[in-house]
Amino acid sequence: MGYAEVSVNSPVAQRRTFSYAIPPGLSVDVGQAVWVPFGDKLLQGIVLELTPSPSVEETREIVGVIEPHPILSPSQVLLARWISEHYLSPLFDAVALMLPPGFERRAVTFIGSTPREYDVSSLTPEQRYALELVQSQGKVTLGKLEKALGKKRAQTIVSQLVGRGLAGRSYEVEPIKVRPKTVPYLNLAVTADEAQQEAARLHEKRAIKQAALLSFLAEQSKSVPLAEARQRANCDKAVADALVNKGLVTVQQIEVRREPISYQGITPSYPLTLSTAQESAFKAIQSSLLQVAKGHTSSAVFLLHGVTGSGKTEVYLQVLAEAVKLGKRGIVLVPEIALTPQTIERFASRFPHKVAVLHSKLSLGEQFDEWQRIRNGEFDVVIGSRSAIFAPQPDLGLIVIDEEHEWTYKQPDTPRYHARDVAIKLAELTGALVILGSATPDVETFYHAQKGDYHLLQLPERVTPGDGSLPLVEVVDLRDELKAGNRSIFSRSLSEAIAKAVVNRQQVILFLNRRGGATFVQCRNCGLVLRCRRCEVTLTHHLAEDVLVCHQCNYTMPVPQICPRCLSRRIKFLGIGTQKLEQEASFTFPQANLLRWDRDVTKRRYSHDKILSKFRAHEADILIGTQMIAKGLDLPLVTLVGVVSADTGLNLPDFRAGERTFQLLSQVAGRAGRGILGGQVIIQTYSPEHYAIQAAAKHDYALFYDKEIDYRRRLHNPPFTRLVSLVYTHTNDALCQREAERMKRLLIEEIDSQGIADLSVIGPAPAFIHRLRGRFRWQLILRGSELSAFLSQIPIPQGWAVDIDPVGLV
């Protein structure tokens, strides 16, 4: 008898598998979904391994398979194990990342009869009733018997019947809630001539609308979707119903495919002639693809470092086409925000009908359809945000991660994986290549490229029209403005430049990485700053609704008329957010049309696309926004980008604050001068000498990297070590602190007793966000090299959140 190690869908299963015996006659494969008994329940599980002997003495049997074919590929099985071990997440949580949408369904128990002679008089009336019901229908659900006989009785009777060999149980997964999508079509039930005659009669009887619809249908050669017919004949459904009732028309439900990309209006595009730099990047990856195909080398990672507009995407497209020629397929990851029609269109037009898109906004039905079709090998390219790395793409040959430095690639909840690291692992397991693309690579990625772990490919220049040069950046010292008596949000330089651009019918982007109006509200009498009662974060004033909002937990309160502490009326709004900026800009530049783009707008009024197309159509002169506007958008009329305050992220207590600021400023600066008009960037700051700001102003990644890597080395931060953030959350602050201290002692004891030299514990300290939604948070940071292996031996109670390789420490 064979055995299977199964990852079971139960919270108590944690990071381990369970041994089950494979009953005779059942064939089970690695990656297959099965029903297994677990305690007194029947649960779903995924087979991760087949073994000749069980890992425990007593095993139970697998009850049945859920699907005839494996759901996870062998590489995905290994990947799930790696995720669970590396990120210390429950095994089934890691497995679940790769399951089809809507998979986690309940088992339905069916009762069937067995052909066997029996003496009817030996059955009780209830038993006879149940058995006859089962016999008459072939099989019925246990639920149906429970309804008829009561839950307890039904279960007892079924057990008795099964015990006597008269009935048997079988299990099926609950039917999926996703139904095929159907659309009603209208057909003529009579000939076209008859329909025209009838239409004429209806017309005489003044049933004008019915006549029009019938006449329209008579002119069509095939059936017409109801929606189209209604539109063309300008009538509502009741009119169609009337024709149906008269027996002139029939309605037929026709199944249509849900297609998340509309290929309407997308024309095929063809490979461009590559620039010299693009060509050499392309050649390097192409030759690696060939080597892998011949089995000469295994996977490899490329860092494609090139400023925005340097032609990275064109390289992705052409390399993907090469992979396809070799019988391979690709996955392309983009930050969520970049899943705009623009990006999708570029891939869809190069690979018509061969691109799958995985959006978080797709309905469950669409996700399910897309998943099935990907698994069937219908697409050359799967494009999506971080979770698309788990798409069941067969013959994986290439993984592209665009904007690889983006933090959205890190999953905030368990399993707290980083899609980039997962991609590199998956490539290693499948022999695929990875391309990491960025204008401002993550410092750790660049370090690996420098060391030779990754192949560094550079596209130093823009290929866009114009002179190809990057915009000029001016750094304005806001302290000088104050000295000169300018108290406005806009420095003299910036306001002159805005006025000039608007007069010349050019467009301006103003960037401020803070939403809302005033960013804090203070009593000028006693100094009290209003904070969220649950998070201790300062409350931000939102102008349109005139309320105070906590940006941490969304707690909202009206603006107090008097100070809650000293009862003074001198409540002042200080600091600026995008709403306030919009207001100031409308005072200062009354002739300009403004448009704001931040989470508050996209949540309520417009989608990203709407805002973008409005701005593109020049319906506004100035676009005001948060970091949303910093992403890869092509806006040729933008000649000026103003960074209203470069300092918002600089002072956070995180060793990545400098990197973050540099990335954001570089991206924002990359927005200007995409067209032939050229461009200019003005950065306002109180710390103009900071290396992140200096380097961004000079478009000089190397300048930034050299300084940054030097700090990282001296302060012993990644990539020279690894980190884990352990955060304990509790409603009681003192208890929270005590638990953090207890954990620290435990960790140190373990480190000492195992004699691990390179492991150290920092903290505990109140987390940067000390209080969130009414709960306190204390943080420990663990620094060292073999963190997952070490922590996997430590019992970590409920209430702790463990983040391996965190992207932010605040």
Positions in the binding site for ligand ADP (CB under 6 A): 272-275, 278, 306, 308-314, 463-464, 632
From the CB of 773, what's the least distance to Zn ion, in Å? Answer: 6
Query: Which residue lies nearer to ligand ADP by CB, 98 or 400?
Result: 400
Count residues binding Zn ion (CB under 5 A): 15
Query: Which residue lies nearer to ligand ADP by CB, 436 or 743?
Result: 436
Query: Which residue lies nearer to Zn ion by CB, 211 or 537?
Result: 537
Query: Which residue lies nearer to ligand ADP by CB, 264 or 276?
Result: 276
Alpha carbon distance 300, 424 (integer Å): 8
Query: Which residue lies nearer to ligand ADP by CB, 404 or 481?
Result: 404
From the CB of 526, what's the least distance to Zn ion, in Å? Answer: 3
Q: Does 526 bind Zn ion (CB under 5 A)?
A: yes
Q: What are the tokens at 290? A: 């060939």
Q: What are the tokens at 334? A: 């983009």
Q: Does 529 bind Zn ion (CB under 5 A)?
A: no
Task: Establish how many alpha carbons lie within 13 A of residue 631's alpha carbon, considering only the half-sphere containing its beta carbon.
Answer: 23
Partner interacting with residue 577 (select from Zn ion, ligand ADP, none; CB below 5-8 Å by kind): none
Partner interacting with residue 552 (select from ligand ADP, Zn ion, none; CB below 5-8 Å by kind): Zn ion
Query: Which residue lies nearer to ligand ADP by CB, 52 or 460?
Result: 460
Q: Does 525 bind Zn ion (CB under 5 A)?
A: yes
Which one, of 15, 180, 179, 32, lies nearest residue 99 by Cα? 32
What SS3 class is residue 35?
Answer: strand
Q: Does 557 bind Zn ion (CB under 5 A)?
A: no
Task: Establish how many alpha carbons lie within 13 A of residue 504's alpha carbon, considering only the half-sphere containing its beta carbon.
Answer: 14
Alpha helices in 260-299 (DSSP H): 276-293
Partner interacting with residue 278 (select from Zn ion, ligand ADP, none; CB below 5-8 Å by kind): ligand ADP
Q: Does 530 bind Zn ion (CB under 5 A)?
A: no
Q: Does 532 bind Zn ion (CB under 5 A)?
A: yes
Alpha helices in 351-418 (DSSP H): 364-375
Query: Which residue lies nearer to Zn ion by CB, 59 or 525?
Result: 525
Q: Does 539 bind Zn ion (CB under 5 A)?
A: no
Alpha carbon distance 809, 652 (integer Å): 9
Which one, of 632, 616, 623, lies nearest residue 307 by Cα? 632
Residues 568-587 that bind Zn ion (CB under 5 A): 568
Burial class (CB in 10 A: 0-12, 13-18, 19+), 769: middle
Q: Does 550 bind Zn ion (CB under 5 A)?
A: yes
Query: Which residue lies nearer to Zn ion by CB, 254 or 526?
Result: 526
Query: Which residue lies nearer to ligand ADP by CB, 369 or 403?
Result: 403
User: Taking contact as CB under 5 A, which single stretch among the options 431-439, 504-512, 530-538, 716-724 is the one that binds Zn ion?
Assistant: 530-538
Pick from 230, 258, 354, 534: which binds Zn ion (CB under 5 A)?
534
- Cα 141 to Cα 109, 113, 138, 144, 190, distances in angstroms: 6, 12, 11, 5, 44
From the CB of 314, what's the least distance to ligand ADP, in Å? Answer: 4
From the CB of 755, what's the least distance to Zn ion, in Å? Answer: 44
Q: Does 358 bind Zn ion (CB under 5 A)?
A: no
From the CB of 545, what's the least distance to Zn ion, in Å? Answer: 17
From the CB of 463, what's the least distance to ligand ADP, in Å? Answer: 4
Q: In what order do the strands lie in the sheet with 547-549?
A: 540-542, 547-549, 556-558
User: Taking contact as CB under 5 A, which single stretch among the options 8-16, 122-130, 543-551, 685-693 is the one that binds Zn ion?
Assistant: 543-551
User: Taking contact as CB under 5 A, which single stretch among the options 230-238, 390-398, 405-413, 523-531 is the one that binds Zn ion?
Assistant: 523-531
Other beta carbons within 10 angstroms of residue 83's beta carbon come to 24
Does a cis peptide bond (omega within 30 degrees of 0) precede residue 719?
yes
Q: Does 552 bind Zn ion (CB under 5 A)?
A: yes
From the CB of 412, what's the least distance to Zn ion, in Å? Answer: 17
From the CB of 525, what's the least distance to Zn ion, in Å? Answer: 5
The dihedrals phi and psi of 138, each to the nearest 5 degrees, come to 85, -60
Yes or no: say if 425 and 82 are a contact pair by the CB < 8 Å rule.
yes
Pick from 251, 553, 594, 769: which binds Zn ion (CB under 5 A)?
553
User: Taking contact as CB under 5 A, which single stretch among the options 145-153, 247-255, 535-543, 783-791 is the one that binds Zn ion?
Assistant: 535-543
Query: Which residue lies nearer to ligand ADP by CB, 274 or 801?
Result: 274
Three-state SS string over 313-327 comes to HHHHHHHHHHHHHCC
Task: Establish how many alpha carbons lie within 13 A of residue 128's alpha carbon, considering only the half-sphere containing its beta carbon.
Answer: 8
Alpha carbon distance 414, 748 (integer Å): 25
Partner interacting with residue 306 (select from ligand ADP, Zn ion, none; CB below 5-8 Å by kind): ligand ADP
What SS3 class is residue 636?
Answer: coil
From the CB of 763, what's the least distance to Zn ion, in Å? Answer: 23
Pick from 1, 200, 484, 566: which binds Zn ion (CB under 5 A)?
566
Partner interacting with residue 566 (select from Zn ion, ligand ADP, none; CB below 5-8 Å by kind): Zn ion
Yes or no: say if 79 and 425 are a contact pair by the CB < 8 Å rule.
yes
Q: In what order do the strands lie in the sheet with 182-188?
A: 224-225, 182-188, 249-255
Query: Which residue lies nearer to ligand ADP by CB, 275 or 491?
Result: 275
The dihedrals phi and psi of 690, each to the nearest 5 degrees, come to -60, 135
Q: What are the tokens at 372? A: 């099935």
Q: In what order do the strands lie in the sheet with 41-51?
A: 60-61, 18-21, 3-8, 41-51, 33-38, 64-65
Query: Which residue lies nearer to ligand ADP by CB, 463 or 553?
Result: 463
Pick from 555, 573, 655, 711: which binds Zn ion (CB under 5 A)?
555
User: Taking contact as CB under 5 A, which single stretch among the options 374-382, 440-448, 493-501, 549-557 is the one that binds Zn ion?
Assistant: 549-557
From the CB of 742, what's the least distance to ligand ADP, in Å? Answer: 50
- Cα 322 to Cα 311, 397, 635, 694, distances in angstroms: 17, 10, 30, 40
Alpha carbon distance 211, 804 (integer Å): 69
Query: Which residue lies nearer to ligand ADP by CB, 195 or 401?
Result: 401
Pairing label, strands 775-784, 760-772: antiparallel
Query: Which residue lies nearer to ligand ADP by CB, 464 or 687?
Result: 464
Query: Which residue lies nearer to ligand ADP by CB, 275 or 522?
Result: 275
Q: Does 528 bind Zn ion (CB under 5 A)?
A: yes
Q: What share of the chain is helix, strand, coil (3-state, %, to 5)?
A: 35, 25, 40
DSSP state letter for 418: B
Other beta carbons within 10 angstroms of residue 483's beta carbon come to 9
Which one, of 597, 572, 589, lies nearest residue 519 by Cα? 572
Q: Does 342 bind Zn ion (CB under 5 A)?
A: no
Alpha carbon distance 164, 128 (integer Å): 13
Q: What are the tokens at 162? A: 């099964």
From the CB of 530, what's the least distance to Zn ion, in Å? Answer: 10
Q: Does 800 bind Zn ion (CB under 5 A)?
A: no
From the CB of 622, what's the least distance to ligand ADP, in Å? Answer: 24
Query: Which residue lies nearer to ligand ADP by CB, 312 or 405?
Result: 312
**Residue where the block lists tokens 């992207």:** 807
Partner interacting with residue 632 (select from Zn ion, ligand ADP, none; CB below 5-8 Å by kind): ligand ADP
Non-local CB neighbours of 677 within 8 Å, separated by 6+ positions: 466, 506, 636, 637, 639
Query: Which residue lies nearer to ligand ADP by CB, 273 or 793?
Result: 273
Extract the runs of DSSP E, i.e. beta strands, from 129-263.
Answer: 139-141, 167-173, 182-188, 224-225, 249-255
DSSP state letter for 288: H
From the CB of 570, what's the least distance to Zn ion, in Å? Answer: 8
Partner interacting with residue 274 (select from ligand ADP, Zn ion, none; CB below 5-8 Å by kind): ligand ADP
Provide the binding-site residues for Zn ion, judged by CB under 5 A.
523, 525-526, 528, 532, 534-535, 550, 552-553, 555, 563, 565-566, 568
